[in-house]
Amino acid sequence: MADEKINKGHSENYFGDYRDFWWNRAFLDLTAKRLDLERHQSMLDVGSGHGHWTRILAPYLAPGAEITAIDSDEKWYKENPDLQAYFQKSGNLFQLKKGDAQDLPFEDNSFDLVTCQTVLIHVPRPAKAIQEMKRVLKPGGTLLCVEPNNIVQSLIKTSLTKNDPIEETLDHIKYRLIIEKGKKAMGRGDNSLGDLLPGMFAMEGLNNIEVRLSDKAIAMYPPYDNEEQLATLKQWMKGSSWKSNTQKDIDFFHAAGEKYMPFYFEYQEKYARSDEHVMGALQREQYHAAGGSLMYLVSGSK
């Protein structure tokens, strides 16, 4: 059964998109109420990518609100027909533009709501991005940033890791910490920036700071047949969750410091088959995990 699903994963049409399942609807409703999103007539989504977050928030704003999305990657600001088509039907005025979070191409005091989701973790100067987002926010407007701590993933137990020796868990944490250090050293951001966001908001002079955690967990358990589990399987097959992308990891290790390279090779040798173990356990329907994560929602007003 799982085997069939995993093989069908090669057809893009079989699965939904992983990010479509990142939020519980009731939690979004509550967030919209808490932040009184319906009074906002305009929104800027920074680093909008495919537009998952843009589409999620737009219906909570005032009817016909003006939506602006920007991204620094031309893959997203030039070729995003899905997002354009979505907003053509929605009744919102919509524009998609090129823009860098650290140097926003907008006048001061332009938007009622400025937001981003999993963007500041990729930005070399996140404090500058927060300063820019505040600058383009209207007085009284809301800044809402959604960013994770990703290092906790190394501590989440699964049916495969539940009896791991302490040393193995420490190896996984050490590996991820070195990757995070290298990523930062390369100016590619900080994977666990979410922990620091409230303080950064305070230092930027934002008011009414509120900090919450998403209540979503994507639990995996046999027979893995609900939509979010199928989308998660697809994401795993693309290799972004538990598979290591060897060249990228080597670059991060070099950037973290040459002294870490022996650990890279030891780790790769010791855990060379862990991807196969996960895939095998999924196929035998023996893999399960509650799928917890740490995703912060930090809001403040100007």
Ligand X SMILES: C[S@@+](CC[C@H](N)C(=O)[O-])C[C@H]1O[C@@H](n2cnc3c(N)ncnc32)[C@H](O)[C@@H]1O
Q: Which residues bind ligand X (CB under 6 A)?
A: 19, 46-50, 52-53, 71-73, 76, 100-102, 117-119, 122-123
Closest-by-Cβ residue to ligand X is: 49
From the CB of 149, what's the least distance to ligand X, in Å? 15
Q: Is 145 helix (H, G, I), strand (E, B) or coil?
A: strand
Count of Cβ atoms closer than 10 Å to residue 291 Cβ: 17
Cα–chain-centroid distance for residue 194?
10
Query: Taking Cα atoms as reference points, which of 62, 47, 24 lies closest to residue 121?
Result: 47
From the CB of 2, what's the least distance to ligand X, in Å? 27
Give, as one character, the DSSP assignment of residue 100: B
From the CB of 275, what's the least distance to ligand X, in Å? 22
64: left (phi over 0), alpha (psi -120 to 50) or beta: left
From the CB of 51, what's the least distance to ligand X, in Å? 7
From the CB of 3, what's the least distance to ligand X, in Å? 30
CB nearer to ligand X: pick between 105 and 262: 105
Count of Cβ atoms closer than 10 Å to residue 228 Cβ: 18
CB nearer to ligand X: pick between 80 and 92: 80
CB nearer to ligand X: pick between 8 and 243: 243
Count of Cβ atoms closer than 10 Å to residue 120 Cβ: 27
CB nearer to ligand X: pick between 31 and 48: 48
CB nearer to ligand X: pick between 76 and 264: 76
CB nearer to ligand X: pick between 17 and 215: 17
Cβ atoms 72, 43 nearer than 8 A: no
Q: Is 228 helix (H, G, I), strand (E, B) or coil?
A: helix
From the CB of 22, what's the least distance to ligand X, in Å? 8
Report how far residue 30's alpha carbon sits from residue 276's, in angstroms, rounded to the nearest whole number.
40
CB nearer to ligand X: pick between 73 and 108: 73
- Quickly tell me which residue has 């990891």 as its tokens: 249
Tally the C-alpha atoms within 13 A of residue 104's C-alpha that lie toward its C-beta.
Answer: 28
Residues near 57 by beta carbon (within 8 Å), at least 6 away in sequence: 37, 43, 45, 113, 115
- Cis upstream peptide for 223 (omega within 30°): yes
From the CB of 122, what's the least distance to ligand X, in Å? 4
